[in-house]
Structure 1
């Protein structure tokens, strides 16, 4: 048995930095709206703004109760209290998956300690430390008495444990953490000032531009630049150049313009659309595949970035707050009175980047490069499918004949998705197109299209470099299925009429198991529960599994395998349906094929999706494939789903799902 080589130390380090940057970004990005609101208020209403208003901007005095008092305004309290606490709340939520609100509250309480430790100092780095720490420590403490609290005392214990621990960790933040954070911020501020005073700030582009392409920028941008920039913008200057080090769209725009004029093939054809998404939409990752395709273009990005930074330094330009995404619209909104200067820097950065990229493309005598492969490489580095760069991957150039639906084990969700997709393709009249399902580990580069879940795409992409990879998050009615049908229709529009469904096409994938007909009564009324309640998805999985155990179809170890499957990949299927099932290694725990059905009184959160129906499945031999195929037909029909929701008895449910027993 061969094993994949272990990733190099450099790759592992890069992955760790990417995950760290993603985590920081996850705290900041949901609160960008609040940061923009603060930036706009600062730009408009401070004393030097176009509409100076002390009540809002926080300057001057107002008469209150016959006395003159200093105006507090919105600007100061927002940056000193609101924004750090919002970031901390998000960090606490991220660390306590089971009870995110509780984690967020503890993160916010903990952060008040570091805020109080250094009054008037924007504690963003402190929030990024104490927020996650508060949520994580609360999660660990709750685990100590989980399941040990007597009924009726849960609320008392939960409230007082949160209050007591919140008090302690806030005091810890006040005396232990705030001095360290203040020291770190002072050191970083000195470093930035040295770079500015010695005109060395443009050199940061040497690191920032390559980091963007490698998805390492979040760690620098959200961990260092944004907190320092916000602290600087809160001072007398009211703005900061640090917000422009990474956000300037000029370097990427210049590269895309060069491809529009001097590129060839797919790169030239897709560059105009990519430029619009990049420049106006602010999604910079759209140009990363072009650079990865020809790494020498990093020189163009660095040259353009350094030009933009140097211009902003020369013109004393800055933004009132962070611009996210890095769109010219967002940047212009944050520029205030510097909008003309900002545009000059963007234009010059674009021109320099374009000139360098044009020379590289003109002198490069190598082949055009593979934009699809570069996109796949980018997505593999990013660790997930790109929502925009994936559009750069063109449809298969050859005739689409072989489609595979891939999942972790190639037996559960992939069989369900393959059945739905196969039926749509057959209904469109293209029965000669083969649709199969397969485990990602067994994929070979022999398919025209690969359909998989978004979280599994990074594993699938390297195995099928010649295929078009599409991702789905809804197995019942994903719009991706219609895209596949449209690809086939468009491709064959100039050829003969669609081929009628043939017998061979109906026997592939999930239907390939029809030679092993399932035993009767896969679903019995004893395995149907209506009006059920579940605390979370783990509880629902356990209930579905215990119904299979009670039926005598599986032993208790199979229930553990159902939880293990859910840990690796979600079994949410779409149309309010989840189908938890065991891992591929759990076959020995299956005694006979069976299915359980649970309808929940209240929809359950299943990784951000609502689930009302939980169907547990165990299949002997390959019988589960046929079961999944029949369930796919039922749950892809909205009328059937509505009928299941309205059913008042187990017998009614059994009648609607009767096909699984036939």
Structure 2
């Protein structure tokens, strides 16, 4: 299941950053298409180029950038363009393949060549290698990959036509509804149904595929049943959950309610099936994917002659789910003791997870996409933190983007193992209901009782010296090379030395040339293309007693992240080299537990 979630996250990471572009295309189509609300032949000319060129290339760029930074994004676009030029269908599936694949192949070349390029030829090889590999990928995608994807597309169309002709599309709810609740919702919607829906909408003006996963009816039926037929916390939270789900479009909010009573899986499946059947019967569909799945977004993207069909399908799915949930609760009532036990377990988990004296500078909320339920949870916890007059930042992120230096991470219990792999040194707490304010109040009490809250002052974002003591991190557990580089980059960013994009430059530099300099020391820094995001010169020092592998035979126990404004980084590199050339000093740097030692050592080298 975790592999499926990870694969789904990989797909959604290509689409979610570009969802506003898809919404823009959907609005343009809804308004200015020949059968839209405001038909306009001139403005309709925008629709085609946007769906055939702009959107697939955005996906390709994002997919490539996720693998290889900005350079990976560029070659992802180049490799995908051959697909677009050689086909007469929107190449979304092709972009999801060629974007990341092109960046991966370029990364492999960079790794192979980084120790083989003569000094002085690095920039020449870097630029020409990307250009030459890009040309090759474009030709391959035009002549070979494109035709294969067109063939795959025809097979998919045949399969879809087979299902539609026999009126069996409603059976898809057997897979879609449980998949959503198992946090595969983004993968299902943006990785599978979205591309199918776009091609269908181009041919018919709208598509039912956009409604299969985004239909808010089943979730609303579940929450209404909890409100009417249960007691305690679940009943009390249900009204606010309904508003967030149905009007706000954050569907993850109802997932825990289904998991609490597994028989409800049957209710949402049958509710989804009934809604899809009505959509099919009345010929209802949308112009584009509504994201988030709010009823407002759904109706905004509905053709005017299909509004009644959409409302009918949503209503029927809600009613069917509600009635079946009622029957389940009547047969198997949700006892107060079950909720009390769950609540007690949550509270005990919080107290057990917080070690005495642990420093906490911020709390990180994580969900699959980092946009819906985690944003909601972070908002609720922030209110509780402020009520307790604590200066403790609360942030929300996608689960695959949890900072490696996080102090305290909160996520759904089903995603807990993935969160732990992202930030192994953090305290992790899994909860089932992001709306449960009592859990947050208990968490804040626990943090106050057991932890040391280290307040982060605003002035910290304006560094007044090249190395600050708070940026000397000692005795950190070993991580991967990429995580170590990201951690150093995050410290540089958090301290105000660099802006957004510098970490990508650090990773891109490492792909081309190793920054390991020997003596168990690595000095990751950004490539020339990101020098413009350096605000002030600065360094951060992170000690890994057990080392971080920077390649075969390259074990770094000291990782020094560097940002040099102008040519100041040359002097920084010289000072660092001088500091570590003495074996006795180096050995103490590798083993010291006193940050003042490293601070004073680097100060004596004229850095400050």
TM-score > 0.5, shorter chain as reference: yes
1:452 corresponding residue in structure 2: 408
Query: What is aligned with 2:96?
Result: 128
Shift of 1:166: 1.0
What's the offset of the Cα at 1:298? 0.6
CA 163–203 in structure 1, closer or farther in 2 if over 3 Å, else same = same
Per-residue Cα deviation, 1:303-335 (whole angstroms, up to 9, x for no partner): 111111111111111100111121112211211
TM-score by length of 2: 0.65
Aligned residue number for residue 250 of structure 2: 283
How far residue 209 of structure 1 moved from its aligned partner, in angstroms, is 0.6
Secondary structure of the 1:94 match is helix
RMSD of aligned alpha carbons = 5.0
Alpha-carbon deviations, 1:581-640, whole Å to 9, x = none?
A: 315689xxxxxxx9999774459xxxxxxxxxxxx999999984x869x99xxxxxxxxx
Q: What corresponds to 2:79 in structure 1? A: 110
Instruction: Return the match for 1:193 from 138, 156, 161.
Output: 161
Change (3 A) 1:366 1:272: closer
Asked if 2 retains the 8 angstrom alpha-carbon contact of 1:561 and 1:582, the reply is no
**Residues 620 and 578 from structure 1, CA distance in 2 versus in 1: closer, same or farther, beyond 3 angstroms?**
closer
Distance 2:272 2:604 in 1: 68
Does 2:120 match 1:160?
Answer: no
Equivalent residues of 2:539, 2:563 under 8 A apart: no
1:45 corresponding residue in structure 2? 32
Shift of 1:367: 4.0
Kept after mapping to 2: 8 A contact 1:47/1:54: yes
What is the aligned partner in structure 2 of residue 650 from structure 1? 603
The answer (yes or no) to whether the contact 2:57–2:80 under 8 Å persists in 1 is yes
1:341 and 2:297 matched:
no
Post-superposition CA distance 1:522-575 (Å, at most 9, x none): x9xxx9x999999627999x99998xx9xxxxxx45x48999xxxxxxxxxxxx
> What displacement does 1:17 show?
2.0
How far has the Cα of 1:156 moved from its partner?
2.4
Q: Cα–Cα, structure 1 residues 54 and 352, in superposed 2: closer, same or farther, change >3 Å?
A: same
- Secondary structure, aligned partner of 2:354: strand
SS in 1 for 2:408: strand
Cα offset, 1:339, TM superposition:
2.7
Q: Is the 8 A contact 1:289 1:371 kept in 2?
A: no
Cα distance in 1 for partners of 2:407, 2:497 equals: 33
Contact 2:8 2:188 in 1 (8 A): yes
Report the alpha carbon displacement of residue 419 of structure 1 after superposing the two structures with TM: 12
- Cα deviation, residue 15, structure 1: 2.4
1:361-510 correspondence runs (5 A): 361-365=329-333, 367=335, 404=354, 415-417=358-360, 452-453=408-409, 458-459=416-417, 469=429, 487-488=444-445
Rounded Cα–Cα distance in structure 1 between residues aligned with 2:146 and 2:29:
26
> TM-score, normalization: structure 1?
0.60
- Partner of 1:247: helix, strand, or coil? coil
1:259 aligns with 2:219: no
2: CA distance between counterparts of 1:300 and 1:506? 43
Unmatched tracts of structure 1, length 5 or more: 1-13, 58-72, 375-392, 407-413, 431-449, 472-479, 492-497, 509-522, 550-555, 564-575, 587-593, 604-615, 632-643, 656-662
* Change in 2 beyond 3 A, CA 1:417/1:78: same
Superposition deviation, residue 54 in structure 1: 1.3
CA contact (8 A) 1:290 1:371 kept: no
The answer for the alignment partner of 1:173 in structure 2 is 141
Distance 1:138 1:537 in 2: 14
Larger radius of gyration: 1
Spell out, residue by residue over 1:109-130, the C-alpha distance to the aligned partner (whole angstroms, 9 max, x if none).
1111111222x21111111111
Shift of 1:83: 1.0
Match of 1:101 among 58, 64, 70: 70
Q: What stretches of structure 2 of length at least 5 have no aligned partner? A: 364-384, 391-405, 421-426, 432-436, 454-468, 474-491, 526-537, 549-556, 567-579, 581-585
Q: 1:47 to 1:602 in 2, by over 3 A?
A: same
* Aligned counterpart, 1:22: 9
1:181 shift after superposition? 0.8
Whether the 8 Å CA contact 2:270–2:320 is kept in 1: the answer is: yes
Asked if the contact 1:110/1:169 (under 8 Å) is kept, the reply is yes
Alignment partners' CA distance in 1, 2:303 and 2:48: 18
d(CA) in 1 for partners of 2:16, 2:338? 32
Of 30, 35, 40, the match for 2:22 = 35
